[in-house]
Amino acid sequence: MPKVVDAESRRRAVAEAVFRVVRAHGLDQASLRNVAEEAGLAIGSVRHYFTDHDELLVFALEELTERVERRVLARVELIHAAGTPRGRRDGVADLLGELVPLDPDRHDESVVWLEFSRAARTRPALAPGARRLHAGLRLIARRVLERAGVPDVAVEAERLAALLDGLAVNAVLQPDLTTPDVIRAVLSRHLDGLRVDAQPAPGSTED
């Protein structure tokens, strides 16, 4: 009996192979041939699931984005369930921690994110996905700060997003200097300065 292959599972497995190639050698080396070899597939099998190289990379970027979004949404639920300001503040710190390299898996994600962001400048097919990542980070920052009643939310959201971006980039480029402990300390100091406890702002409504 012929083996039944779940197309979506196979596409995700190929995306994982893209991530491994990108982490080890950079996005420029994530050719169809190299990805197929990493996935243990014939190049014709990869072409069965992706019409061309751009479609493969776009799918991989979407997969990366959705993976992070799922984790962030799970953290949002925990913040809503927190019963104290300190609990909400810690929940916010944990949520933001999903966006920076605090463990090997998130470090690997940051490496891939940085490679895709760099490539999107000259590869039009990747630009929409890169914008989605950029806008999503700023939306998360804005909602966290709005719920905390922080004034001048537009500027503070951009400042927080820039801080997260900078920590991620530095942790990728200089991991021995921008360590997880440094990242946690910087985020903690920033949140304490803003007095972020995820309380709804006066007059606002919960989603």
Better pLDDT: 84 or 137: 137
Q: 33-82: per-residue pLDDT in tens?
A: 999 999 999 999 999 999 999 999 999 999 999 999 999 999 988 887 88
In a domain, 159, yes or no: yes
Q: What angle do CA 169, 175, 181 make, to 5 degrees?
A: 100
On whether both 77 and 7 belong to a single domain, the answer is no
**Percentage of the chain exceeding pLDDT 90:** 80
DSSP the chain: -PPP--HHHHHHHHHHHHHHHHHHH-GGG--HHHHHHHHT--HHHHHHH-SSHHHHHHHHHHHHHHHHHHHHHHHHHHHHH--SHHHHHHHHHHHHHTTS-SSHHHHHHHHHHHHHHHHHTT-GGGHHHHHHHHHHHHHHHHHHHHHTT-SSHHHHHHHHHHHHHHHHHHHHH-TTTS-HHHHHHHHHHHHHHHT---PPPTT----
Confidence (pLDDT) at 79? 84
In a domain, 207, yes or no: no
| End-to-end C-alpha distance for the chain, whole angstroms | 50
On whether both 65 and 161 belong to a single domain, the answer is yes
CATH number at residue 167: 1.10.357.10
Full residue range of the structural domain in which residue 91 is found: 61-194
Least confident span in 9-18, 94-103, 168-177, 187-196: 187-196
Confidence (pLDDT) at 198? 52
In a domain, 7, yes or no: yes
Instruction: Please determine, for residue 84, whether its predicted confidence score (pLDDT) is greater than 60.
Output: yes
Instruction: Please determine, for residue 205, whether its predicted confidence score (pLDDT) is greater than 50.
Output: no
How many other CB atoms sit within 10 Å of the CB of residue 197? 20
Instruction: Please determine, for residue 202, whether its predicted confidence score (pLDDT) is greater than 80.
Output: no
**pLDDT, mean of residues 96-102:** 97
On whether both 74 and 170 belong to a single domain, the answer is yes
How far is it, in rounded angstroms, from Cα 193 to Cα 76?
21
pTM for the structure as a whole? 0.89
Is 6 exposed, middle or buried, given 0-12, 13-18 or 19+ CB atoms closer than 10 A? exposed
In a domain, 11, yes or no: yes
CATH number at residue 16: 1.10.10.60
On whether both 102 and 187 belong to a single domain, the answer is yes
On whether both 65 and 162 belong to a single domain, the answer is yes
Least confident span in 51-65, 106-120, 186-200: 186-200
Q: 120-163: per-residue pLDDT in tens?
A: 999 999 999 999 999 999 999 999 899 888 899 999 999 999 99
In a domain, 205, yes or no: no
**Percentage of the chain exceeding pLDDT 70:** 92
How far is it, in rounded angstroms, from Cα 38 to Cα 6?
19
Total domains, the chain: 2
